[in-house]
Amino acid sequence: MKKTLLYVLLLGILGAGLYIVFNKKEGFSQSDSDFKIKDTSNIGKIFLASRDGSTILLERSKDGKGWMLNKEYKALQSTVTSLLSTFYQQEGKHPVPQAIHNTIVKALAGTGVKVEVYDRSGEKIREFYVGGETKDLDGSYMLMAGSETPFVVEIPGFPGYLSSRYTTEFLDWRDRSIFMLNKEDISKVSIQYPGEALNSFVAHQNKDGKFTVEADPGISANNEVNQRRVDLFFTFFQRVFCEGYVNGSTGLAQAIDTVPKRAIIDVTTTNGETQHLDIYYMPKNRRSKNLTTDKGYVPSLYDVDKAYGILNNSKDTMMIQYQAFDKIFRNAYEFFEKDKEPAGK
């Protein structure tokens, strides 16, 4: 029994010795490979910076329910969630082979993305650099700040690299919501169709919860407002998204100047703020689905699925899909029609 204990002790000492020698030889410690962040709920701020000067600053909003981008815009929650998940799952697999050590270090220094992670109290908890992908595309090269040993970092069981999750492209991080308003937070909605006065309208939600609708007298005169329909209409502004932003795209201004305006939407909140959206037709292109087949609600010269949106007088230009706006593009007369009686009554 004593001999067994002695053997176990000797093996333990030998193993510890080999570990120390190995680490000394390779020149890294456990902190060199500690890329995993176990408690992502405590992260309050993330800073990404690339060598070309692009920077991304992500901060938890004060209510803790979302993230802000560069102190001005809402961050795209799905992208932030993906990064937080990456922090939690990524692991240092092994140091890069000595044969490519210098090459990888130079690449990280030249094109790597610097990552700083802070907790909710503002204390920095991680700082590392993210480089390109490995040849087998199953990991990415990363280097902890202050270390001389870059690692191959991967997510166990995930066959792919992680570099793309650390993008510093601004539009990859920006939230794409146009309207995110609850019904009770809206006081007025105006939908104007240029050249279509009979279809245009302004709907109001009064303090007593009742609705009124301004429309052409030929439609509204002596007709009662369908309260259920207006109530339902106000709920359509809870989650309205654009497909993406196209600010600064080459030839965009000229393209918009050549097409008519489809609609003008103004949504005013109960605190007096107004969101203004101008929607323009988009010319057909080789990707348009109606190159050979037209649909009645869009003139044949224009794309049947997509349009341009200009928010708040050129603050942003975006691509929108009619699918997201078809429920909003109502006509005035619809709010003065009576609901059909259920069959059998």
What is the tens place of the pLDDT at every residue in 277-293?
999 999 887 665 554 45
């078809």: which residue's tokens?
Answer: 326
Name the DSSP letter for residue 75: B
Buried-exposed string 61-75: b where 16+ CB fall within 10 A, e elsewhere:
eeeeeebbbeeeebb
> Nearest Cα to 156, choosing from 81, 98, 80, 88?
88
pLDDT score recorded for residue 7:
39
- Say what the pLDDT of residue 238 is: 96
pLDDT at site 80: 97
Query: What pLDDT is stored for residue 12 in this prediction?
Result: 41
The whole-model pTM stands at 0.76
* pLDDT at residue number 39: 96
Q: Which residues in the chain land under pLDDT 50?
A: 1-28, 291-292
What tokens appear for 286 in the block? 């080789």
CB-CB contact of 93 with 153 (8 Å):
yes
Burial class (CB in 10 A: 0-12, 13-18, 19+), 313: exposed
